[in-house]
Every structure is written in structure tokens, then in C-alpha cells.
């Protein structure tokens, strides 16, 4: 019984992807964040309730940025070491960017419609964020359509482009004053948040990061299963070829 898939699947069954403490911490941090967002934090004077989108929109972007660095570094480490655990992490992190960046863009667009009266505009921040999404759409497409060394190399190159886009997004509304508001954190001397808003944003960031970690762990496990299935499929074809000859 020396097949790669059998042992690996047994390993997965023994170790759950999400330990109970992680589920508890994530649920707890999410409940606290939702309480702060919808009950505790004061309502912003100019925009009113709609401003509360901020507490999901910004953490989704922050998690995407973090995932781009994790995925990119894991991709480069995989190229260097050929350790498949890095490849699994890279796939999980990079794929998660599609989800969290889409949330960021969709929520931002809904907020923009209420506040600016438009769904979208090609300003520096929005365009560079959209570019990030496109880069990772390309990553997923390449990942699914190629195999072997070529795939790893091309994916790592795409990840480097993705990582390079993050500072561009970060600096976009600092360097160019267009439609997107100026940064409320790390901006000029007029920037800043009320203490209750800052605390709520921090709690929402922690909760989103915990949720992302859960997603990554589950996706990494499926990535390992995908590898096992690929290995077994190859062996099955080899066995079939051997029988024919």
C-alpha cells in the first residue's frame, strides 16, 4: 500500500484543518468586531450609517495585501526549495486574494454609489486595486492550465507583480489626489480617526485576519489533496500504459 494518496488522506483525517481553539478565537473576535461595528462605535456625522462599510472594506483590503506578501514569499521559497508545503501555502494565499479583494472592491463600490453617486471611477486607488484583482485572476488561470516547473516559475513571476502592486495601491491616494478619499491612517497632519473608530477598525482587522487564517488552513489542506489526486492519476495512467505494452 505504498501509494502517495492513501497515507496523506489518513493524515488529513487525524488532523482537522481547523483546531477548536482557532474556531473559538475566530468566532469570538468576529462577534466582538460585529458588536463594535453595529452597536458600539459612534455614527460618522457626514455620511451616517453607510460609513460602517469602512470596517469591513478596509480589513478586506488589508488582508489582501498581507496575503499577497505571504503568497509571494511562499512562491519564491517554493522555487528555491521545491518543498511542496510552500506551494500549497502560496496557492491558498494567492487564491484568497481573489475573494478578499473582490469583497473590498464590491463594498467600496456600494459605498461610492451612496456617497459619490457613482459605482466606479478610474482613479489611482481604484485602478491599482482592480489591477491587483486582475493579477490574481491571471495567477489562478495559469495555475489551472499548466503543470510542472513552468507553472511554478510563471506563478512566482505573477506573484512578484502582485506584491509590487501593493505599494502602488498604498501610495496611490497619498501621491495623487483624485476621487478616493485621502488616507485616514498614516496620511498627512489632518488625517486620523476618532479613538472609538480606531479601536473598531483594529478589532475588525484582527477578526478578518483570523478568518483569513481559517480559510488558508482549509484551502491548504485541499491543495494537498489535489496533489495526492494528481499523483494517483499519474500512477493510474502509467499502470494502464504498462499493461498495454
User: 33 or 155: whose CB is closer to another protein?
Assistant: 33
Q: Say what the alpha-carbon torsion angle 53, 59, 63, 64 is, to the nearest 10 degrees.
A: 40
Q: How far is CA 158 from CA 68, 142, 162, 163, 172, in A?
A: 11, 9, 6, 9, 21
- Asked if 133 touches another protein (CB under 8 A), the answer is no
> Of the ranges 20-28, 141-149, 168-176, 235-243, which one interacts with another protein (CB under 8 A)?
235-243
Q: Are 136 and 94 in contact (CB under 8 A)?
A: yes
DSSP class of residue 1?
-
Looking at 3, 35, 116, 119, which residue binds another protein (CB under 8 A)?
A: 3
- Asked if 23 touches another protein (CB under 8 A), the answer is no
Least distance from another protein to the Cβ atom of residue 153, Å: 25
Give me the residue label for grid cell 494502464.
240
User: 10 or 189: whose CB is closer to another protein?
Assistant: 10
Give me the residue label for grid cell 517554493.
78
Looking at 110, 142, 154, 199, which residue binds another protein (CB under 8 A)?
A: 110
Q: Are 37 and 52 in contact (CB under 8 A)?
A: yes
Residue ranges that bind another protein, judged by CB under 8 A: 1, 3, 5-6, 9, 48-50, 52-53, 56-57, 60, 96, 99, 102-103, 106-107, 110-111, 113-114, 211, 215, 218-219, 221-222, 225-226, 228-229, 232-233, 235-236, 239, 243
Amino acid at each position: 500500500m505504498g501509494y502517495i494518496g492513501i497515507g496523506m488522506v489518513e493524515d488529513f483525517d487525524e488532523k482537522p484543518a481547523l483546531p477548536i481553539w482557532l474556531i473559538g478565537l475566530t468566532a469570538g473576535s468576529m462577534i466582538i468586531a460585529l458588536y463594535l461595528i453595529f452597536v458600539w462605535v459612534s455614527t460618522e456625522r457626514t455620511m451616517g450609517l453607510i460609513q460602517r462599510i469602512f470596517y469591513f472594506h478596509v480589513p478586506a483590503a488589508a488582508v489582501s495585501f498581507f496575503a499577497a506578501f505571504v503568497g509571494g514569499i511562499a512562491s519564491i521559497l517554493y522555487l528555491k526549495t521545491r518543498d511542496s508545503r510552500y506551494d500549497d501555502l502560496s496557492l491558498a494565499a494567492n487564491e484568497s486574494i481573489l475573494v478578499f479583494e473582490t469583497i473590498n472592491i464590491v463594498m467600496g463600490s456600494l459605498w461610492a454609489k451612496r456617497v459619490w453617486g457613482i459605482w466606479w471611477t478610474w482613479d489611482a486607488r481604484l485602478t491599482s486595486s482592480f489591477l491587483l484583482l486582475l493579477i490574481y485572476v491571471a495567477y489562478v488561470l495559469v495555475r489551472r492550465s499548466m503543470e510542472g516547473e513552468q507553472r511554478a516559475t510563471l506563478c512566482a513571476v505573477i506573484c512578484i507583480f502582485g506584491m509590487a502592486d501593493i505599494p502602488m495601491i498604498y501610495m496611490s491616494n497619498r501621491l495623487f489626489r483624485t476621487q478616493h478619499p485621502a488616507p485616514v491612517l498614516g496620511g498627512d497632519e489632518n488625517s486620523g480617526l476618532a479613538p472609538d473608530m480606531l479601536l473598531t477598525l483594529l478589532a475588525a482587522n484582527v477578526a478578518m485576519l483570523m478568518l483569513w487564517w481559517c480559510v488558508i488552513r482549509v484551502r491548504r489542506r485541499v491543495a494537498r489533496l489535489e496533489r495526492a489526486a494528481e499523483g494517483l492519476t499519474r500512477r493510474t495512467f502509467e499502470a494502464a500504459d504498462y499493461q498495454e505494452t
